[in-house]
Chains A and B, each alone.
Chain A
Amino acid sequence: MEHVTQHSEPHYDQEASKLGMWLFIFTELLLFGGLFIVYSIYRFLNPVAFEMAGHELNMTIGAINTIILLVSSMTIAMSTSALQKKDKKLTVYLLVITIILAIVFLINKYFEWGVKFDHGIWPGSEHLINDMGKGEILFFGLYFVMTGLHALHIIIGMIVIIVALNKVQKGTVNADRPSLLENAGLYWHLVDLIWIFLFPLFYLIH
């Protein structure tokens, strides 16, 4: 689309793209912020039910997934450093590892949700509505919404990383123009950070 408005000098402003990404991260934080508010209000109103329901979640899978995301945050940060050192091969390797870790996270999530479904627990399920209290209904409703929205962000983050990976291979993202990779990294850290809050809220607080 550049041909439509041929700007005489191609505009590349690394600071601008970083600022734009940070602003976008603010909006993401507020998006989840709304959910965190809803969560804290209902936790405050139903402390016992939230604690009981929290025991139903598998803390081991949650902990493993936390570690996976933390490691993936490290690998993507390392890939940025590798790009700065002009080591293209290492950058690509590290990004591939990040993507694999993201996939493992989603697989774990799939099994975790699958077990809940087997127990007849999903939003609006008969078992949930007929046999459980209102606090549990809210807990699981929020659990599925918040972890589901987070999983959606993992998928979006993966797509962004794949695009960045592709451009690193082509050479359009390089040590002189690293914005896309850096922004992908920022986004991935955000996704990681949100999980760091979700994990204790749902799995750990008793």
Chain B
Amino acid sequence: MQTAVQIPHDVSYLDYKGKYRGIFSWIFSTDHKRIGLLYMYSMMSLFLVGVMLGLAMKLELIAPGRTIMGPQAYNAVFTVHGVIMIFMIVIPGLPAVFGNFMLPIMIGAKDVAFPKLNLLSWYIYVLGALLVISSVLFGNGIPDTGWTFYAPYSFKTGTNLLPAIFGAFVLGFSSILTGLNFIVTIHRMRCPGMTWFKMPLFPWTLYGTAWIQLLATPVVGITLVLVALERIFGIGVFDPALGGDPILYQHLFWIYSHPAVYVMILPAMGAISEIIPTFSQKHIFGYKAIIASTLAIAFVGYFVWGHHMFTSGMSGTAQYTFSILTFIVAIPSAIKVFNWISTMHQGSINPDIPFLWAVTFIFVFMIGGFSGLVLGALATNVYVHDTAFVVAHFHFIVFGGVGFAFFGAIHYWFPKMFGRMYDKVWAKVGWAFFTIGFLTLYSPMFYLGMMGMPRRYYDYLPEFHAANILSTLGSWVMTFGLLIIIINLFRSARNGAIAPMNPWNGKTLEWTVPSPPPVENFDEVPVYGEKDGPYEY
């Protein structure tokens, strides 16, 4: 593959001295790499808050009855945990951090199409996060509706819900602008010779994601505005007392929020599709099938929202239809898993840290996916609806899927981002603790759900005690692993061994620039020849 001439002595984006100094050289920077890191640091701080809230919930559930908090506090904790984790971490997650950092480099561009808009998106993100946090700190009572803000409780509750709703709205705006930026970047800024079907898979999944962000987010935006107006003025659209229909809220909410699940998982799949060929030293199996399945997920994902509402009151026809569509959307995910496994087949596998994360991703994603089919089937759904089973499924996909992919991606791209290598022994220890803890934390919930333990209660019947103890122990092991991972990465970003340009022998464009990349990424615009491709081993 022919690429740009490298100038290793060029100034890296980390050392570049612009007009501003200190923190201002970051928060006024329109460099996509710095913005990516800004997102990463803000998300990391919020993530730790979310993790602590999760730990508090698990601690409460270590024994029946009141352990450390009462019902109202528990409601507030799961609400804030959900809002932070969903709207501030997993939805922006991979696109905002690795999309910003890697997308322009992977397609051979100097930056995204609209760098200032990109920085503005980060400011909007921070504003949204602050708004949500302000709902916790001020006003009378922390929001207690759950992250779904279901009507009519969301405008009847006396807690301070308005800032949380507006915060979620503002965060959606940030998401839309990032998506818009990425679509235009991918359309307009691919390097010469990089046709659509020579583009690496991570940018492809970002492309699919960006369309979902763009087309689904406005719907939830207006829905949240309507809830806020319902709260302030009483316009009546979701209030049964005034003629409105609360079920309509659920429809509008899930029209966005189900596709949002694919906003979370598609870039995660993209990162896995980068890691696996690199560590198998082999061309990705079924490149076009992966692209097609990405677009199929993005498309079919729009039409499955009703499976969140099987018990809310829908016609039988609607229920069958949504159930069948839900089964259909599982097919492209299965195609991807098949392709990843086939890529490994007869490859020369290098079982390094990112690869470990990638294979554990496939493992937990498959458990999450199959339990999703249990929920997508009407009969079983009615049985386990709103139980711990749903919580387990959801966390296997969103934390297991997206989280494992995120950690895989950060261990994969870390040497490129910071120019240093992390301590691999500690990284493996962290991975082991995290994986064991994760499985111990969430697997018992499948059992608990099947036995009938409802979600979102601070209390439970005595017969659920044993499994809950196991789950709480798992949460401690997982958090211990998480701390090892984060501390290791933080220390290595400063003091790790200097990383080479291409530590994993990757073939995509980001491995052809120095680590860390220079300010303008490429000294000369790279050119893809006839026979070049992203995975030519």
Contact = CB atoms under 8 A, between A and B. Distances in A.
Contacts of A37: 252
A38 B119 CA distance: 34
Contacts of B519: 5-6
Interface in A21-38: 23-24, 26-28, 30-35, 37-38
Given A20-B113, A46-B243, A124 B237 contact: no
B219 interface: yes
Chain A interface SS verdict (over half): helix
Nearest to A136: B243
B180 A24 contact: yes
Contact of B119 (A1, A134, A144, A145): A1
A178 interface: no
B235 interface: yes
Nearest to B185: A16
B171 to A, nearest CB: 15
Given A7-B110, A142-B237, A145-B226, A19 B184 contact: yes
B531 interface: no
A137 B25 contact: no
A1 B237 contact: no
Interface string B90-118: 00000000000000000000110111110
A20 B226 contact: no
A135 B223 CA distance: 20
Contacts of B216: 30
Given A15-B188, A27-B176, A4 B183 contact: no
Contacts of A5: 16, 18, 29-31, 111, 115, 519-520
A4 B29 contact: yes
Interface string B200-224: 0000000000000011111101110
B244 interface: yes
Nearest to A20: B184
Contacts of B243: 42, 46, 133-135, 137-138
B219 A23 contact: no
B196 interface: no
Interface in A127-185: 129, 133-135, 137-138, 141-142, 144-145, 149
B7 interface: no
Given A20-B113, A20-B180, A141-B235, A34 B252 contact: yes
- Of the listed residues B16, B111, B219, the one surrounded by the most CB atoms of chain A closer than 10 A to its CB is B219
Interface in B62-105: none
Contact of B180 (A7, A23, A38, A145): A23
A38 B20 contact: no
Interface in B143-200: 176, 180-181, 183-184, 187-189
Nearest to A33: B219
A138 B219 contact: no
Interface residues of A, number: 45
Contact of B111 (A3, A7, A19, A123): A7
A107 B236 CA distance: 27
A60 interface: no
Interface string B20-49: 100001001111000000000000000000
Contacts of A118: none
B242 interface: yes
A27 B217 contact: yes
Contacts of B188: 13, 15-16, 19
B222 A34 contact: yes
B234 interface: yes
B229 interface: yes
B248 interface: yes
Given A4-B25, A30-B218, A38 B236 contact: no
- Of the listed residues A15, A17, A19, A38, the one surrounded by the most CB atoms of chain B closer than 10 A to its CB is A38
A4 to B, nearest CB: 4
B138 interface: no
Contacts of A145: 226, 229, 235, 237
Nearest to B177: A24
Interface string A45-87: 0100000000000000000000000000000000000000000
Contacts of B222: 31-32, 34-35
B230 to A, nearest CB: 9
B236 A138 contact: yes
A3 B242 CA distance: 56
- Of the listed residues B28, B176, B236, the one surrounded by the most CB atoms of chain A closer than 10 A to its CB is B236
Contacts of A137: 236, 242-243
B214 A26 contact: yes
24 contacts: A4-B19, A4-B28, A4-B31, A6-B519, A7-B110, A13-B188, A16-B184, A20-B184, A26-B214, A27-B176, A27-B218, A28-B218, A30-B216, A31-B221, A31-B222, A38-B252, A41-B248, A122-B233, A123-B229, A124-B235, A135-B243, A137-B243, A142-B237, A144-B235
Given A23-B183, A26-B215, 17 more contacts: A4-B18, A7-B111, A13-B113, A13-B188, A16-B113, A20-B184, A27-B215, A31-B222, A34-B222, A38-B237, A124-B234, A133-B243, A137-B236, A138-B244, A141-B236, A141-B242, A145-B237
For the complex of A and B, the 6 pairs showing the least CB-CB separation, nearest first, are A134-B243, A141-B235, A124-B234, A123-B233, A3-B19, A31-B218
Interface of A: 1-8, 11, 13, 15-17, 19-20, 23-24, 26-28, 30-35, 37-38, 41-42, 46, 122-124, 129, 133-135, 137-138, 141-142, 144-145, 149
